Structure 1
């Protein structure tokens, strides 16, 4: 599967539970929408993923990427009810970084 470099880096950071590398995939003023919450800015994104990594220890297995729709379907497995789940990551990019990410079930 041919993923944009920043998405491949994000998957690798997630699988390594590296919240700093994960946050560095985002623009400074990026926004993440997940589980009904909004996380604004790289530092808040880093704090959100750090907490999620400790709680869920989730890994990502990319299943399908649409360059046209800028979406990634991935199997997420970890310490949470219903694991594994298929989630869709909706991206907006700017200057090679993620500007916006919305995660849906």
Structure 2
């Protein structure tokens, strides 16, 4: 990817491109929050389960094509391709970083 992303976000996107769940989990803080279309998952165990069921199981890969900073967050937009109805679907990811890690990741369609 040619975008200049903060390292935790770049690491997450690159691991997702390889469908590497361990790599996807590595950038998150232990008490991170993942909000998936309004549903909240907190902590590494809940986030891992979500990603295993909603990303890895359907081979969903996020390919951001835009990035901007908004109110201190990093906002990425782009299609998610995978083995699911309607693929690809355009997503927005809003990421809050803390201590060089992902504190919050919010996805919306």
In structure 2, what is the Cα distance between the partners aligned to 1:19 and 1:62?
Answer: 18
- Corresponding residue number in structure 2 for 1:76: 80
Following superposition, the deviation at residue 102 of structure 1 comes to 0.7
SS, match of residue 63 in structure 2:
strand
Aligned length: 105
Q: Which stretch has the larger CA shift, 40-49 or 91-100?
A: 40-49
Contact in 2 for aligned 1:23/1:43 (Cα 8 Å): no
Shift of the alpha carbon at 1:47?
Answer: 1.6
Distance 1:16 1:49 in 2: 13
Alignment TM-score, normalising by the size of structure 1: 0.91
Unaligned ranges ≥5, structure 2: none
Partner residue in 1 for 2:41: 39
Question: What secondary structure does 2:83 align onto?
Answer: coil
Contact 1:29 1:99 in 2 (8 A): yes
Map 1:9-88 to 2 at 5 A: 9-68=11-70, 69-88=73-92
1:41 and 1:85, CA in 2 relative to 1: closer, same or farther beyond 3 A?
Answer: same
Unpaired runs of at least 5, structure 1: none
Q: Which of 58, 80, 92 in structure 1 is aligned with 2:96?
A: 92
